[in-house]
Amino acid sequence: MSEQAQPTKRTCGTSEVDRRLLKESAEYRAARSQIESMTQHFMQSARANALTDVTKIPVVVHVVWNTPEQNISDEQIQSQIKVLNRDFRAKNPDISQVPVVWKDRVADPLIEFYLATEDPNGRPTNGITRTKTNKSSFVTKDEPVKSKASGALLLENIMSLNARLVLLLQNITF
């Protein structure tokens, strides 16, 4: 009887990078503060307007890949957006399995995500960027995946959620 392979552990370096940048970069701290203020303003106006419509958030998915196997398909990305929306809207099939301690926290926040249809310059896009890199892995501190020097795209001034998918050796996802 063969032993089944253990699933690859997925880790996300976003929190670690966020903490480091908050300490090291005044520009990053200012941008984060601006985002937090915008979010607070949105939430206050949403409460005042008794939000009843679904808020749709555009998403840009940046696929950073080294081997063809890591360059996941558009269909896989679209499938994951559907799963994300089901989960956020509390419409996932396993909703009944939420542990009792969290059941009273389950709600539909009226948020849905979709792949962006415009780039920062107003040109049409499918919401997916693909960047081939020569790097076989990234570490969060010295070789950030979000920098031009690492072979990844650095997109600024985008009013959308940016998701980076990096499936390189260490399986670090940002």
Domains and CATH numbers, the chain: 52-173 (3.40.390.10)
Q: Which residues contact 62 (CB under 8 A, 6 or more apart)?
A: 128, 129, 130, 131, 152, 153, 155, 162, 163, 164, 165
Helices in 100-156 by DSSP H: which ranges? 100-103
Instruction: Compute how many other C-beta atoms are within 10 angstroms of the C-beta atom of residue 23.
Output: 9
pLDDT of residue 162: 57
pLDDT of residue 32: 83
pLDDT of residue 75: 95
pLDDT of residue 147: 54
> For residue 108, how far is the Cα from the chain centroid?
19
- What tokens were used for 55? 């808020």
- What tokens were used for 163? 């998701």
d(CA 124, CA 127): 9
Strand partners, 172: 11
Per-residue tens of pLDDT for the chain, all 174 residues: 444 455 455 566 677 777 888 898 888 888 888 878 877 777 777 655 656 788 888 888 888 888 898 899 999 999 999 999 998 899 989 988 989 998 888 988 888 989 989 877 888 989 898 888 887 776 655 555 555 544 444 444 444 555 555 444 344 443
pLDDT of residue 61: 85
pTM of the model: 0.62
Could you tell me if 111 and 55 are in contact, meaning their C-beta atoms sit under 8 angstroms apart? yes
d(CA 74, CA 32): 30
